[in-house]
């Protein structure tokens, strides 16, 4: 069994503001399982988390936390994707892919996605195994979706071929 939660946000520029307090965004009306991020406020990605500079080729990941995970969860997986072409739900850019997250974990702090005992997938450009922060060079709305999967079985140590988001929130970037 897989239980999915998603979080969405909108971003409007690469300007950095002060960090805001965390906001919980319910991801499902039929569950208390909740995905939250201090990087998202009222559906908007805070400026402090946009266009992260690369240090040794790595960008700091946004902080994520979850509560009330199902008791049957053996592990978690997380994806953050963006569909660059309106109306196209097949072609996507992957900004974060994590799996093999132990059931005892309930948060990934800011900048820590690449430091845990879980598996990390390739960045948006597939040039490295790392997180990619939202940073669009073009104007307009850019929608990102972060999904957490509560898995009732721990998958083997390899990336899933494709894990389609099914429930949750979205992030949009506006310039």
- Split at pLDDT 50, 70, 90, the class of 41 is confident
Domain ranges of the chain: 2-174
Which CATH number is correct for 2-174, 3.40.50.720, 3.30.565.10, 3.90.280.10, 3.30.43.10?
Answer: 3.90.280.10
Three-state SS string over 37-84 comes to ECCEECCEECHHHCCCCCECCECCCCCEEEECCCCCCCEEEEEEEECC
In this predicted model, what pLDDT tens digit does every residue of 19-33 receive, in sequence order? 333 334 444 444 688
- Split at pLDDT 50, 70, 90, the class of 7 is low
Distance CA 41, CA 30 (A): 22
Q: Lowest mean pLDDT: which of 46-55, 99-108, 121-130, 142-151?
A: 121-130
Q: Cα Rg for the chain, rounded, in angstroms? A: 15
Distance CA 65, CA 108 (A): 6
Can you read off the two tokens belonging to residue 168?
């949750």
Proportion of the chain above pLDDT 70, given as a percent: 69
Report the pLDDT averaged over residues 112-128: 87
pLDDT at 62: 95
For tokens 């093999």, name the residue: 100
Q: Is the pLDDT of residue 108 over 90?
A: yes
């Amino acid at each position: 069994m897989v239980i999915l939660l998603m979080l969405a946000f909108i971003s409007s520029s690469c300007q950095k503001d002060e960090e805001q307090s965390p906001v919980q965004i319910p991801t499902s009306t039929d569950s208390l399982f909740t995905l939250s991020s201090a990087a998202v406020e009222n559906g908007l990605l805070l400026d402090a988390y946009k266009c992260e500079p690369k240090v040794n080729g790595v960008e700091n990941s946004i902080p994520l936390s979850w509560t009330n995970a199902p008791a049957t969860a053996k592990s978690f997986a997380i994806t953050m994707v963006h569909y660059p072409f309106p109306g196209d739900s097949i072609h996507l850019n992957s900004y974060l892919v994590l799996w093999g997250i132990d059931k005892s974990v309930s948060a990934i702090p800011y900048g820590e996605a690449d430091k845990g005992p879980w598996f990390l997938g390739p960045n948006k450009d597939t040039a490295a195994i790392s997180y990619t922060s939202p940073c669009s060079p073009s104007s307009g709305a850019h929608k990102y979706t972060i999904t957490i999967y509560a898995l009732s079985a721990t998958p083997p140590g390899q990336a899933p071929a494709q894990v389609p988001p099914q429930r949750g929130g979205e992030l949009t970037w506006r310039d």
